[in-house]
Amino acid sequence: MTTKPPLTFQAIHSAAEIIRKSKRGVVLSGAGISTSSGIPDFRSPQTGLWEKIEPLEVASFFTFRYDPITFYRWLQPLAAQIFSAQPNPAHQAITTLQKLGYIQTIITQNVDGLHQKAGSKNVLEVHGTFKTMTCPACFLKVAAQPYIAAFLQDGTIPHCPNCGSILKPDVILFGEQMPYQPWLKAQKISRRCDLMIVAGSSLEVLPVASLPMQAIENGAHLLIINRTPTYLDVRADVVFSDDVATVLPRIVEELLSLRQE
């Protein structure tokens, strides 16, 4: 059954029932889960990061290598939003589902760390992380926090304490490969789960967009919560075309009421 908006009780109830019966649930989260925390997504009209900026001109490994100042100028306002952001009700709802035992793993395309701030465990960051930085010259890896704090305070570009080269945040830029181990784990978990919840992802970026297909091809249920349509809406058990920060807490509330019956 595929349920479209409006946000009906029956749709909420159906989603809660599916979650209640799951034992190996996975959440796949995208940029849409963090917009309610003040972090812009990439493609939304007028507000998306790529509406006025060509991503390959600022967010590519080529730009970082040959014009790191331009890269860091672009990064500064986004990094400020990320490091000041706090989890919203969607992140909290996922943490609740994990504590209740319905969700074992969160696969996220985001680099904002909000799942971890909300208390979630076992988070696979398949597009990298802002927690560390690496020197592209000598490959020294350092904790990012002190360097990012100085960068946000006075614009100090992070330099390697070992060789003096400009440090790169361990987020995946255009032209870079995804981190191997998290991606390998994400594929394995997607093939073994019995439920996948797509939370705030348009499923347009490969190869991560293939994970829900891997899940349903191995018999898993699929719930999709995203403002815009995805290519897998027709294959999902329930689809909510709404804000994940509104929908997920309502599903969790209904799930808790079912547990008390």
> What letter does residue 3 receive in the DSSP assignment?
-
Pairing of strands 168-171, 128-134: antiparallel
Neighbour-count burial of 84, counting CB atoms closer than 10 A to its CB (0-12 exposed, 13-18 middle, 19+ buried): exposed
Q: Mention every residue, 6+ apart, whose C-beta is less than 8 A from residue 29.
A: 94, 106, 107, 108, 109, 110, 115, 199, 200, 201
Query: Distance between CA atoms of 163 and 177, rounded to whole angstroms?
Result: 24
C-beta neighbour count of 21 within 10 angstroms: 12
Active site residue 115: no
CA–CA dist 92, 83 (Å, integer): 18
φ/ψ of residue 129, rounded to 5:
-150, 155
Catalytically annotated residue among 91, 127, 159, 221: 127
Q: CA-based angle 16:17:19, to the nearest 5?
A: 65
Token look-up 């440090």 returns 167
Q: How far is residue 47's CA from residue 64's CA, in Å, rounded to a whole number?
A: 24
> Reading across the β-sheet that carries 123-125, which strands appear in turn?
123-125, 103-108, 25-29, 195-199, 221-225, 238-240
Catalytic residue numbers, as ranges: 127
